[in-house]
Chain A
């Protein structure tokens, strides 16, 4: 409101002084002129889901210290300007995230200085306003800053699906030996000989975690082996969804081996949702029931070492696997075999030798090779002073 009064007064004064031709000496000297912002543009913020207008400008060279920029907005045709923001000098951009999609706005930007008294003694001085073209916000189809990630994603899919396709058409792919996995049959065989059971812990997360899905695939193979050998299986769970998934996995494994008679629902059981109560119960079971083989495969946290050490003290063969770098050291220290990182994901393919899965392993390897190549080229180039590769991989 104040600025309206001030501008009206200013206009009247200017008009009056011009009309009367009064000598300028009768007025107090005008305050130093505030400059107008340069290159002021208002446009839809690119790469967003709408409801935001991006204002950009350049600070004019003659900007006095302490000046700020005042951005205002109006919906044409009615020019009711409302203040949107005060922006410090040097920022040169502002995102108005209060816009409504599809509504046309105009923005104006002007320099504002609170300390320079103006001619009428009203606080604050305001420079000339620059008004933007009409602009409306909308949602966008692309996010320019994620193009690199999108290209990487597409390349990955091409390599992966291409390899899977080749495998589907009969190309045979190789997979190298993975130490821990060769021990699976041996461990289950030993359990059968000793007449003790096999314990399978599928991590403590839900099947929404990818390591759990990988673990369930391995559980399928372990369950088929226990069905073949006729040894007992025990799979205690922390996550209720993993619990239902695991039960179906084991059930279908026993079916696939033609031994549904050996399957009992209690093989896959639920304990509790608490990580440590779970680990206490499983440790208790290890000590009391002395399973001959322990599989600890999936996503683990602190419980990893408690389980692995307790299992070790009971003399069981232990095969562990996780992709979480934080828990790997403990499995490596306390278990007989450990699937490290990516080995966990390759395990399903290794155990089943299914062509399609082997094809996917091949595709992943190709992606890895491509990354290594890009990396090496990038390093040489960076050493020579061209730093494009790291920038290319920068994500937002």
Chain B
């Protein structure tokens, strides 16, 4: 087949999310109220597409690769990809200003900018030069990959591992029998902690005669933990999930109908 593919889904997408916004932008120069209203109308269409697609399997809506909903999925991955420079520009603005004015901590801003510039350049080069950003054909890492392996990932994992320490300090402070609720939190937390690992085996380690008793206690605690996780915990989680999902659904409808519009910087009267 030659020529552009013009199936209904794509044409509708072109009209709703290409032509209408363009026309709206042009009209917006003359009629300022359209600058606020038309994006909300376009948003309404975008919002109901996936909902209709859930229930209506018609090809123009839902067919993989060509229906409006799968196609929009594809579009918005691209739109999200376009968003990153918005942040990059802000970071460069803030930090060059600090370095330029020699503000307090300018050195660290400089470090940041160098890191950004070096890593970013390797990334851009890799993406467009054809070498890619992973490994070279001979198995050696590209500079991008090297920095990922030895700078980016160790830093990431180490920050993440700080959690082990913070869990301990948070538990020490929060798990106190202040009132009924806090006591329940405390008891459930300690029971599960004790049931997740062979804690009693560790305690009995210096006393060999106690080992069998400790092993059976560990077993019991394991069952108890499982029961807590499966029973009350799972029930409460279901309650949170259902409640939040209902709240989220209402919020979603408010967004789609344009009632909730603060994310666009539009107030109530706008």
Smallest beta-carbon distance A161→chain B, Å: 8
Q: How far is the CA of A344 from the CA of B244 in the complex (A)?
A: 8
Given contacts A213-B255, A271-B91, contact A240 B83 (CB under 8 A): yes
- Can you name the residue of chain B whose Cβ is closest to the Cβ of A284? B108
Contacts of B91 in A (CB 8 A): 270-272
The answer to whether the Cβ of B202 comes within 8 Å of any Cβ in the partner chain is no
Counting chain A CB atoms within 10 Å of each CB, the highest count among B174, B175, B262, B268 belongs to B262
User: In A285-321, which residues have CB < 8 Å from any B CB?
Assistant: 302, 305-306, 308-310, 312
Q: Is A364 an interface residue (CB 8 A)?
A: yes
Tell me, in angstroms, the Cα distance from A266 to B93 when the chains sit together. 10
Interface residues of A in 322-343 (CB under 8 A from B): 323, 325, 328, 330, 332-334, 340-342
The residue of chain B having its C-beta at the shortest distance from the C-beta of A212 within the complex is B263
Q: Provide the residues of chain A in CB contact with B169, threshold 8 Å.
A: 309
CA distance A141 to B61 in the complex (A): 10
The chain B residue with its CB closest to the CB of A154 is B55
A206 within 8 A of B: yes
Please name the residue on chain B nearest to A368 by beta carbon. B246
Q: Determine if A325 and B240 form an interchain contact, defined as CB atoms under 8 angstroms apart.
A: yes
State how many angstroms separate the Cβ of A214 from the closest Cβ of chain B: 6
Q: Which of A33-41, A72-80, A117-125, A247-255 contacts B (4 or more CB under 8 A)?
A: A247-255
* Known contacts A306-B162, A345-B250, A139 near B58 by CB under 8 Å: yes
- B64 CB within 8 Å of chain A: yes
Kindly state the separation between the CA atoms of A138 and B155 in the bound complex, as whole angstroms: 54
| Chain A residues within an 8 Å CB radius of B56 | 141-143
Instruction: Give the contacts of B95-146 with A (CB-CB under 8 A).
Output: none
Tell which of A48, A49, A256, A308 touches B170, judged by Cβ atoms closer than 8 Å.
A308
* B51 at the A interface (CB under 8 A): yes
Cβ 8 A contact of A208, one of B76, B90, B159, B170: B76
Which residues from chain B contact A367 at a C-beta distance below 8 Å? 246
Q: Which residue of B lies closest to A304 (CB)?
A: B163
Tell me, in angstroms, the Cα distance from A364 to B248 when the chains sit together. Answer: 10
Of the candidates B60, B84, B240, B266, the one whose C-beta lies within 8 Å of that of A340 is B240
Residue B62 interfacial (CB < 8 Å): yes
- Which residues of A are found within 8 Å of B94, using beta-carbon distances? 266, 269
Contact of B58 among A140, A334, A354 (CB under 8 A): A140
Segment of A15-23, A56-64, A85-93, A275-283 in the binding face: A275-283
Contact of A277 (CB < 8 Å), options: B156, B174, B248, B260: B156
**In the complex, B166 has a CB within 8 A of chain A:** yes
> Is A360's CB under 8 angstroms from B267's CB?
no
- Asked if A127 CB lies within 8 Å of chain B CBs, one says no
Q: Is B231 an interface residue (CB 8 A)?
A: no
Enumerate chain B residues within 8 angstroms of A156, measured Cβ to Cβ: 246, 249
Report whether B252 and A364 are in contact in the complex, using a CB–CB cutoff of 8 Å. Answer: no
Contact B262 A328, beta carbon cutoff 8 Å: no
A252 CB contact (under 8 Å) in B240, B250, B267:
B267
User: Is B241 interfacial (CB 8 A cutoff)?
Assistant: yes
* A382 at the binding interface (Cβ < 8 Å): no
A127 to chain B minimum Cβ distance, whole angstroms, is 35
- With both beta carbons as reference points, the residue of chain A lying nearest to B56 in the complex is identified as A141
Which of A270, A274, A361 contacts B90 (CB under 8 A)? A270
B window 249-270: CB within 8 A of A: 249-255, 259-260, 262-268, 270
Q: How far is the CB of A205 from chain B (nearest CB, A)?
A: 11
Which residue of chain A has the shortest Cβ distance to B269 in the bound complex?
A: A256
From B240, B252, B254, A341 is in contact (CB under 8 Å) with B240
The answer to whether A345 touches B247 (Cβ under 8 A) is: yes
Contact A346 B86 (CB under 8 A): no
Q: A139's contact among B59, B87, B173, by CB below 8 Å, is which?
A: B59
- A377 adjacent to chain B (CB < 8 Å): no
Q: Which residue of chain B has the shortest Cβ distance to A333 in the bound complex?
A: B174
Whether the Cβ atoms of A357 and B83 lie closer than 8 Å is no
Is A50 in contact with B63, judged by CB distance below 8 angstroms?
yes
A345-B250, A364-B250 as given contacts; A49 in contact with B80, CB under 8 Å: no
B220 CB–A CB distance under 8 Å: no
Inter-subunit contact B80/A206 (CB<8 Å): yes
Inter-chain contacts of A241 with B (CB < 8 A): 80, 83, 86
Q: What 14 additional pairs, Cβ within 8 angstroms, besides A49-B61, A342-B247? A: A101-B59, A139-B57, A142-B56, A207-B263, A216-B262, A244-B86, A270-B91, A271-B87, A272-B87, A323-B247, A328-B240, A333-B174, A356-B259, A364-B247
Q: Give chain B's interface residues, CB within 8 Å of chain A.
A: 51, 54-64, 67, 76, 80, 83-88, 90-91, 94, 152, 155-156, 159-160, 162-163, 166-167, 169-171, 173-175, 185, 237, 240-244, 246-255, 259-260, 262-268, 270
Q: List 7 A-B contacts (CB under 8 A).
A: A240-B83, A248-B263, A274-B152, A334-B173, A342-B246, A345-B247, A357-B259
Q: Give residues in A with beta carbon < 8 Å to B.
A: 47-51, 101, 139-143, 146, 149-150, 153, 156-157, 160-161, 164, 206-208, 210-214, 216-217, 219-220, 237, 239-241, 243-245, 247-249, 251-252, 255-256, 266, 269-274, 276-277, 279-280, 302, 305-306, 308-310, 312, 323, 325, 328, 330, 332-334, 340-342, 344-346, 348, 354, 356-357, 360-361, 363-364, 367-368, 371
Q: Which 4 A-B pairs have the closest CB atoms?
A: A248-B265, A345-B247, A333-B174, A240-B87
